A and B are shown apart, each in its own frame.
Chain A
């Protein structure tokens, strides 16, 4: 009998790695296509109003220009739930940057030139774009993030808080943040009769297929969405975005394939972003730091076209034992771009606030911040009362303490200098829920001993293709090179999006199920594969229904050391450490990269990222990569990542929790807490720019001339 070494848990190299390093991996607008035309959108130049005229005369004077589309002549689309996809359907402009027109030409240069030559006239209306804590339009949404309650109340917060020995009341703010995947949203669309094929940059081919079918009034089988390689998404490609609708529409009109890659400076307005949050946190505790009352009240915004309500207070329903608590969300509708998902929506901004507040509480009580968190560790999930399927936050904190050298830290504030630099360190917890979504897969055994596994999964850089192959080969009990996993097409068995850190669980489960059953059927046949091969299909909908009730979350602890220049006000991160407990780690190589990637984006959130709503124009001022600063190589120090061995039988057959998002959760708080330790300055509104640190640092220098 031959045995194979389990592939799950081994650091396999990415299967598509060779294509990526040789430049042969094809992304949405990389496919050679005959007779291709190019489209270039025209963004609306008012924040609210009506288009009164579209003059395409000058644009159409160039014979290379095939069409100019606007609401006046664009094909009619069917309605969907997502109003951002109703492109060029109405003269009404809901926000600046919404598409007003589209130029299509035989060359990229002509399309761009034509877009610049289109004259759109508007009747502008007054706009309202600035979020405030007392905005008159604030209301209580029915729910946040599909089915989560808007508000929760336990015990008697007001009374217990009023009587608490130690009280903290602080407001934290996170700015608008933009996903900016390095590949802009892009699509190549081709019609063949009523069949539409799109190479599209998205996080879920099945989802995009369904919405295109709805918009164009076609059967889903007529729509073929291919996303073989995707240049990142971070939530902003989690559903169909307007670019793909425009491309398909243009291809239909000009009767040629059309490529459309959004110019970078259009992304902020039309591809979704993380909305700004204003979060008030109040904590009442005893002098030992036991939290008795906790309120987390979130104010945020959506657009005139709706959008996603950032569920930032949800973390306070999960993290700490607080017998009396209140968590609320209030939202207002503004004339702004439509917010959507960005890496760890809810958890990421929410944990900046909560974990900053826990640091403030630790200092107020004179308790070590790690000890404070340990003291408030709950036995069951505080809001639901459900047992945790597994929770190893304390172990992460303890392991991080040891690895980071936390015990050597002098808790005194602003106590460590190196010349003009102030040095400090900080800690914060991380958390992210375990999600699984219904998906299908098929496993096929060929008579030659090879296996094919099909699932409409999306590898947006996570390593999904690789880990699914590991899962399949293990379940089949064969070496890796006998198995080919196909992903990245809506023609494959339908599957969920690469989002909510759910991909590996949602796709791996049906892959595991199909392969396990295929193996059993082959064993029953005495390992002789019929001539036409043997195929097994699997669906996990029932398995999901059968799961027991548990609170399922991953946890982690993040540590940061920073230096703050007292002359320039610049903060630089010297080192980051993350310790995570996320179930079984199925591929340590790609997992480590994902954790580091999340922490890197968290560093960006802490120090660099954020955009400003221009009140006069109703527009995000930082729209390109020169003004919206994502971390560059020189911003990022050595990042150390470890994980706790965690066995949890309540997850899925692989025993894994998602890891794509938890890395960004808590990083910004750990860095802000480190900045406070270094300088004594508490930054409650991100990012920590020199401009916000300089005045208090200068003040401190004057107070103590040394």
Chain B
């Protein structure tokens, strides 16, 4: 039995408190302890993005974080994006653009896109942003979206539709 530590955090606005094996990742906390299986485990190594969630508003790979270091944080998962029956605009856009096939990467893609849009609005440049781009919000052109969404692999190859879904919401 591994050493245990108590951790308390907020998940989708609800307080979650548990004594956990120190080796537990945030992803396994969500999936195995909080029974939120929306975040997926594609690789467990930070290589695919299927586990992407929002940690204090920023996108992270939940498989790379240890749960016990999450004390006092706010985590938003795919389950927390919709408001009752009303879908988040990105969820709706993914549906409208058929931006998925098997759907396994989709929760991660959508969480990642939420943050990518916020980052561009906050003026964060990416590697394809022009050097002389003025300060302020970055326009999410197709190359910008492709670059900023490249941490989320989709083996079904839905990228073309993912880019149009994200651009529609970013507009």
Contact = CB atoms under 8 A, between A and B. Distances in A.
Real complex partners, A and B? Answer: yes
Interface of A: 13-14, 16-27, 30-32, 62-64, 107-110, 112-113, 180-184, 229-232, 234, 261, 263-265, 460-463, 589-590, 592-594, 596-601, 624-626, 630-634, 636, 638-639
Given A18-B95, A22-B91, A589-B98, A27 B40 contact: yes
Given A23-B78, A183-B42, A462-B101, A596 B47 contact: no
B40 to A, nearest CB: 7
A234 B155 CA distance: 9
Given A26-B37, A183-B42, A636 B79 contact: no
Interface in B1-42: 1-2, 21, 23-24, 28, 31-32, 35-42
A2 B106 CA distance: 39
Given A21-B95, A182-B48, A232 B155 contact: yes
30 contacts: A13-B95, A17-B95, A20-B103, A20-B106, A21-B95, A22-B78, A23-B36, A23-B77, A23-B106, A24-B38, A25-B103, A109-B21, A109-B24, A180-B155, A182-B40, A182-B50, A184-B43, A229-B103, A231-B40, A264-B44, A461-B103, A461-B156, A592-B98, A601-B157, A625-B47, A626-B47, A632-B151, A633-B146, A633-B147, A634-B146
Given A24-B38, A182-B153, A630-B153, A230 B101 contact: no
A151 B33 CA distance: 56
Contact of A625 (B43, B96, B158): B43
Contacts of A634: 143, 146-147, 150
Contact of B101 (A31, A264, A593, A630): A593
Contacts of A184: 41-43
Interface residues of B, number: 63
Interface string B130-171: 000000000000110111011111111111111100000000
Given A22-B38, A22-B87, A183 B95 contact: no
Nearest to A596: B160
A593 B50 contact: no
Contacts of A593: 98, 101, 156, 158, 161
Contacts of B21: 107, 109-110
B125 interface: no
B110 interface: yes
Interface of B: 1-2, 21, 23-24, 28, 31-32, 35-45, 47-48, 50, 77-79, 81-82, 87, 91-92, 94-96, 98, 100-107, 110, 142-143, 145-147, 149-163
Contacts of B163: 633
A230 to B, nearest CB: 6
A21 B40 contact: no
Contacts of B154: 182, 633
Nearest to B145: A633
A23 B38 contact: yes
Given A181-B102, A633-B149, A23 B39 contact: yes
Contact of A182 (B45, B149, B155): B155
The winner among B1, B94, B156, B162 for most chain A CB atoms within 10 A is: B156
Nearest to A636: B159
B94 to A, nearest CB: 5
B37 A23 contact: yes
The winner among A21, A183, A184, A460 for most chain B CB atoms within 10 A is: A21
Contacts, number: 190
Contacts of A461: 100-103, 156
B162 to A, nearest CB: 7
Contact of A231 (B95, B103, B146): B103
Contacts of B43: 184, 264, 624-625
B79 A632 contact: no
A624 B43 CA distance: 8
A37 to B, nearest CB: 12
Nearest to B166: A633
Given A27-B37, A109-B28, A232-B155, 14 more contacts: A18-B95, A23-B37, A26-B37, A108-B28, A108-B32, A182-B156, A229-B102, A462-B101, A590-B98, A598-B157, A601-B157, A632-B150, A632-B159, A633-B147
B104 A182 contact: yes
A109 B33 CA distance: 13
A263 B35 CA distance: 20
Q: Give the 4 A-B CB pairs with smallest separation, nearest first.
A: A23-B38, A600-B157, A231-B104, A461-B102
A631 B159 contact: yes
B32 A230 contact: no
B39 to A, nearest CB: 7
Contacts of A589: 98
The winner among A14, A107, A631, A639 for most chain B CB atoms within 10 A is: A107
The winner among B31, B152, B160 for most chain A CB atoms within 10 A is: B160
Nearest to A21: B91
B155 A181 contact: yes
Contacts of B32: 107-108
A16 B98 CA distance: 11
Given A461-B103, A630-B153, A633-B159, A263 B98 contact: no
Nearest to B104: A231
The winner among B35, B82, B102, B142 for most chain A CB atoms within 10 A is: B102
A639 to B, nearest CB: 5
A230 B102 contact: yes
